[in-house]
Amino acid sequence: MLVVGTVTDSQPQQAEADFYVATNGDDAWSGRLPDLNAAGTDGPFATLARARDAIRQLKATEGLEGPVTVMVRGGAYYLATPVIFGPEDSGTEDCPITYMAYPGEKPVLSGGKEITGWQRGEGQLWVAEVPEVKAGQWYFRQLFVNGERRYRARLPQQGYYEVVEAAEPERRAFRYNPGDIDPSWHNLEDVELVSLQFWTEGRFPITQIDEETHTVTLAGETWRPITWCKGYYIDNVYEGLAEPGDWYLDRHTGVLYYWPLPGEDMTRAEVIAPTTEQLVCFQGDVEAQELVHHVTLCGLTFYYSTWLLPTDGFNLMQAEVPAQPGGMTCGPDIPFGADIPQAHGPVPFAVRAEGAHHLSLEDNEIAHTGAWGIELSRGCQDNRIVGNHMHDLGAGAIRVGETQKPEKEIEKACRTEISDNHIHDGCTVYLGAPGIWIGQGNHNRIAHNEIHGAFEWAISVGWDWDFTPNPARDNIIEYNHIHHLGESELGTHGVIYMLGISPGTVIRHNLIHHITGGGFGIVLDAGCAGILVENNICHHTERGFHFNYGCAGNLIHNNIFALTADAQTVRYGDAPPPGTINTNLSYQNIYYWKQGRLFYDKHDWPDFNTMRDYNLYFDASGQPVKFINYTFEEWKQKGLDVHSAIADPLFADPENGDFTLPPESPAFELGFKPIDLSNIGPRPQNQRF
């Protein structure tokens, strides 16, 4: 039950619940009181796990007669291991079980441990001994000072080193420029080489350095050819301690080195390193159809989860998602039917669920993670992720489903509501992650979210690069506010990114703006089919809309693509399978630019099997509009844009994001309808529905 106690002149308002948890509680007590009683003999529990066990006992002895609520008081609860909820911890539709924050208080479930005993070291450095590290019991790769992430010492401090050429063994070795890599570095086994590949990064220990040939050998293989990258840097190297905020952990001595920021007092600073990969886990048994269901986490805070580097490093193919057996069978640089190099490395989650139905994760905060925030994995159906604040993430925020195609209906991850979340500042460890990723799942809704910061994509849906049947269909992406992406080491590939046949999928009423790092606004990549893209506004991006040659049967209608730095629209990529009719329809869209070009393509298209009409084009710089290398009349002779026009749409203030059109706009003569974005982004709690 969840009620509010009666308020009288002598009795303060007190929230009532079935059980309570508090930092000054005791798991030997009843847990029925929010505070310690006068005699000091009873009060709240000390841990969430004990409250879970009390509900198990309640179900076994009395059964559930109504909703059950656990209120968690404010303060930090340190988790050496995750809190695990199994099928026995389920509620029902009429009797759900809720774990929530006590009103007005902030309970923090923390996987971190405070590091104390700081002393002055050489120069600007401070040092602390961590006995567990020296004993080989603990090693961490993230550090937080006063609640803010600090980054490991690296070389070079800015920019990247160049891969000169590949060496043997293939994908594991390359030649470097003299001086970039030094075998005399302090504790070479602590060093990690980070290869910045396209749409992903590889992170590897170094196993060998040949000074004569200037060849470095890595512990594992890169997923793409080792030369297909923008460069690399060296992470966690003592010699890189060069500026405030840098830190280095010596595995052998257990000494942690840190260069404080100006004004940081290390005698008073709170320094936290994470110990636990996952904080909460919902674990159902999909095969046995024994699921976790009807459980809610509300108003809780999850801080400080870690990640562990495998001995051979990791390099995931795309989106920081492992390519599982039965998943993708081709890719941008791999021919159809080819074997896929094995993906390396586990990807942990602060909150993870498998085989879970009717979960609700609502109004929580998830931050300071080593990798992803939330995963709803295999067999997760009819769940809600609503109103959460997710930031300072090691990878992305939310991952739903898998790359592997489910064989049975119960194995699908589907019907997920992801709405009203504020997601920002990710990719601090896994550099190529999206904010939200949905794989082989259907009937999911991503709506009213705000996403910004360092993500490779804001939203990525689907996991097939060809026209084979897959479950990724009937997904809705609407009313999201996505802005200021492109801050990561890898930049941004696309804001909303789609893959595979997706009948019933709709992308509508999204506002996308100020995207850098090479990013597209909306991408329909290889295999996309059956997608409706309408009523979106996309402005101040590097590029606007992207069609892969290998997609068909998509409808792009009534959108505004404006003020890109390079190109308004792009059609290129993978050749479609033989016999594919590459027909997409783009009509009643507005394209408005002042620099760059209308089409990205430098060369002629291999075919013109696409349909475009009733569009409005305008180059506000005054330059004549070119359609690839064709004039407007030559373009029309190819059967494209026969009824389209080149004219100023008369936007109110496009430079400042106001794309209101006056009644006399020529866009209306072409059938364009005004786009209402008044309901964009997260809504107040009382306006969600």
DSSP string of 255-318, one letter each residue: EEEE-PPTT--TTT--EEEE--S-SEEEE-BTTTTB-EEEEEEES-EEE-------TT-EE-SB
Task: Classify strands 83-85 and 173-176 as parallel, antiparallel or unpaired.
Answer: unpaired
Q: Are 192 and 309 in contact (CB under 8 A)?
A: yes
SS3 616: strand
Whole-angstrom Cα distance, residue 48 to residue 57? 14
Whole-angstrom Cα distance, residue 235 to residue 117? 25
128 domain-assigned: yes
What would the mean pLDDT of 462-491 be, rounded to a whole number? Answer: 91
The amino acid that residue 654 corresponds to is P
pLDDT of 2 higher than 60: no
Whole-angstrom Cα distance, residue 523 to residue 493? 9
Cα within 13 Å of Cα(247), Cβ side: 22
Tokens encoding 478? 């609407």
Select from 396, 397, 341, 349 the least CA-distant residue to 377.
349
**pLDDT tens digits, 525-537:** 988 999 999 999 9
CA angle 343, 346, 348 (to 5 degrees): 140
Q: Are 95 and 64 in contact (CB under 8 A)?
A: yes
pLDDT of 558 higher than 70: yes
SS3 654: helix
Whole-angstrom Cα distance, residue 485 to residue 476? 21
What would the mean pLDDT of 17-23 be, rounded to a whole number? Answer: 96
Which domain, by its residues, includes 257? Answer: 112-153+241-274
- Per-residue pLDDT band at 13 (split at 50, 70, 90): low
pLDDT of 338 higher than 70: no
pLDDT of 252 higher than 80: yes
DSSP string of 100-115, one letter each residue: EEPTT--EEEE-EEE-
Select from 427, 316, 297 the least CA-distant residue to 373.
427
pLDDT of residue 322: 80
168 domain-assigned: no
Beta strands in 414-519 (DSSP E): 417-419, 422-424, 434-438, 445-447, 450-453, 457-461, 476-478, 481-485, 494-498, 501-508, 511-515
Q: How many domains does the chain have?
A: 1
pLDDT of residue 606: 81
149 domain-assigned: yes
Select from 156, 96, 145 the least CA-distant residue to 273.
145
pLDDT of residue 297: 98
- Give the long-range contacts of residues 208-213, CB within 8 A, separation 24 or more: 209/181, 209/183, 211/183, 213/167, 213/175
Tokens encoding 274? 């994470």
Q: Are 458 and 496 in contact (CB under 8 A)?
A: yes
What would the mean pLDDT of 165-192 be, rounded to a whole number? Answer: 94
- Tokens 């209402």, located at residue: 676
Q: Are 610 and 636 in contact (CB under 8 A)?
A: no
Query: How big is the chain by its Cα radius of gyration, in Å?
Result: 27
Cα within 13 Å of Cα(551), Cβ side: 30
377: Cβ–Cβ under 8 A, 6 or more apart, which residues?
A: 352, 353, 354, 399, 401, 402, 413
| Preceding amide of 682 cis, omega within 30 | no
Whole-angstrom Cα distance, residue 258 to residue 235? 15
Whole-angstrom Cα distance, residue 437 to residue 453? 16
For the beta carbon of residue 677, count every other beta carbon within 10 angstroms: 17
Q: How far is CA 407 from CA 17, 420, 471, in A?
A: 42, 32, 10
Tokens encoding 455? 């993500």
Tokens encoding 404? 């592997």
28 domain-assigned: no
| Preceding amide of 67 cis, omega within 30 | no
Q: Is the backbone of residue 73 left (phi > 0), alpha (psi -120 to 50) or beta? A: beta
pLDDT of 571 higher than 90: no
130 domain-assigned: yes
- Tokens 């786009």, located at residue: 675
Whole-angstrom Cα distance, residue 25 to residue 42? 9
Q: Is the dihedral of CA 43, 49, 50, 53 positive or negative?
A: positive
Select from 387, 457, 378 the least CA-distant residue to 417.
387
What would the mean pLDDT of 431-440 be, rounded to a whole number? Answer: 95
Whole-angstrom Cα distance, residue 397 to residue 369? 10
- Per-residue pLDDT band at 321 (split at 50, 70, 90): confident
Whole-angstrom Cα distance, residue 121 to residue 128? 9
393 domain-assigned: no
118 domain-assigned: yes
148 domain-assigned: yes
The DSSP bridge partners found for residue 246 are 151
What would the mean pLDDT of 306-331 be, rounded to a whole number? Answer: 71
pLDDT of 10 higher than 80: no
Whole-angstrom Cα distance, residue 526 to residue 4? 54
Q: Is the backbone of residue 8 left (phi > 0), alpha (psi -120 to 50) or beta? A: beta
Give percent of the chain with pLDDT exceeding 70.
93
**pLDDT tens digits, 596-652:** 999 987 678 888 888 999 999 999 999 999 999 899 999 999 999 999 999 999 999
- Per-residue pLDDT band at 334 (split at 50, 70, 90): very low
pLDDT of residue 582: 67
Average pLDDT taken over every residue of the chain: 91
- Alpha helix locations (H) across 521-569? none
pLDDT of 187 higher than 60: yes
The DSSP bridge partners found for residue 244 are none
654: Cβ–Cβ under 8 A, 6 or more apart, which residues?
A: 539, 562, 563, 592
pLDDT of residue 78: 96
pLDDT of 670 higher than 70: yes
Residue 518 CB burial class (10 angstroms; 0-12, 13-18, ≥19) = middle
The DSSP bridge partners found for residue 481 are 450, 511
What would the mean pLDDT of 472-476 be, rounded to a whole number? Answer: 96
Select from 378, 220, 374 the least CA-distant residue to 285.
378
pLDDT of residue 576: 64
- Per-residue pLDDT band at 331 (split at 50, 70, 90): very low
Q: How far is CA 658 from CA 298, 538, 542, 680, in A?
A: 37, 12, 19, 14
Select from 453, 454, 394, 372 the least CA-distant residue to 152.
394
- Per-residue pLDDT band at 308 (split at 50, 70, 90): confident
